[in-house]
Amino acid sequence: MKQLLIILLLCPLFSMAQELKPKFENDTLYTLSGFKIFRGQTLAFANGMERYGRFKFVSVKNGILSTSLTNCTVIVKEFRKFWISGLNNGYIVFDGYLIRKEGTRDYIILQMAFDRAIENSPVLPSEIKLPDEYRNKYERDIEREKLFLYNIYQDKVINKSTYKEMKKKLDEQ
């Protein structure tokens, strides 16, 4: 009887799944997908997903236009701040050097919702270029992807035919 009571008391401890969260340790940021961001690393940016090519999940904090990141790279110099919001979105602020297409370097300070910036689905591209092994490591939310797709259509980032084609792909999944 005592064994049964002990098992029943300990059962909730073992059955509760740990919530997956990003973490920052020893000057390295570990994202939900397993990708690591560290000092000296070069991050390659794709295109912004908002109107006029602005980035949705990456913002520049020192006066450089965020559209300057499009198809450019940033070398991570120093981390300033890391936090997780009430909605479990992870954020990082870091200094770095923007390497422009023509080869010039500019000092830049970025704030990034990193898991959102690297998130990728078959129909919605990410804002940071990463190897495929770091994509979609966690459960997808098709309804959220549809809402995001609708929002970028409303913001005129994509046209109606592209919106319908991408929505059809999501509906098939």
Same structural domain, 107 and 124: yes
Same structural domain, 78 and 156: no
* 122 falls within a domain: yes
Range of the domain at 37: 18-138
42-45 and 58-60 beta bridge pairing:
unpaired
User: pTM for this structure?
Assistant: 0.69
The rounded distance, in Å, linking the Cα atoms of 138 and 20 is 9
Q: Is the CB of residue 113 less than 8 Å from the CB of residue 91?
A: yes
* 1 falls within a domain: no
Same structural domain, 50 and 119: yes
The rounded distance, in Å, linking the Cα atoms of 94 and 87 is 21
* 8 falls within a domain: no
Same structural domain, 110 and 155: no
Same structural domain, 110 and 169: no
Q: Is the CB of residue 74 less than 8 Å from the CB of residue 92?
A: no
Residue, of 8 and 30, whose pLDDT is higher:
30
Same structural domain, 37 and 80: yes
Same structural domain, 104 and 169: no
Half-sphere exposure of 44 (CA within 13 A, CB side): 5
* pLDDT > 90? residue 38: yes
The encoded tokens of residue 57 equal: 């999940």
The rounded distance, in Å, linking the Cα atoms of 107 and 135 is 29
Number of domains within the chain: 2
Same structural domain, 170 and 115: no
* 38 falls within a domain: yes
**Mean pLDDT of all residues in 125-139:** 75
**Mean pLDDT of all residues in 111-117:** 90
* 11 falls within a domain: no
* 74 falls within a domain: yes
Q: What pLDDT sits at residue 109?
A: 97
Alpha helical stretches, state H, 49-141:
114-118
* 9 falls within a domain: no
Same structural domain, 90 and 166: no
Same structural domain, 35 and 92: yes
63-76 pLDDT, tens per residue?
899 899 999 999 99
Q: Is the CB of residue 100 less than 8 Å from the CB of residue 70?
A: no
Residue type, 105: R
* pLDDT > 50? residue 107: yes
The encoded tokens of residue 96 equal: 């770095």
**38-52, 115-129, 139-153 — which one is most confidently predicted on average?**
38-52
* 5 falls within a domain: no
Same structural domain, 166 and 87: no
Mean pLDDT of the chain: 83
14-33 pLDDT, tens per residue?
444 455 678 899 999 998 88
Same structural domain, 70 and 122: yes
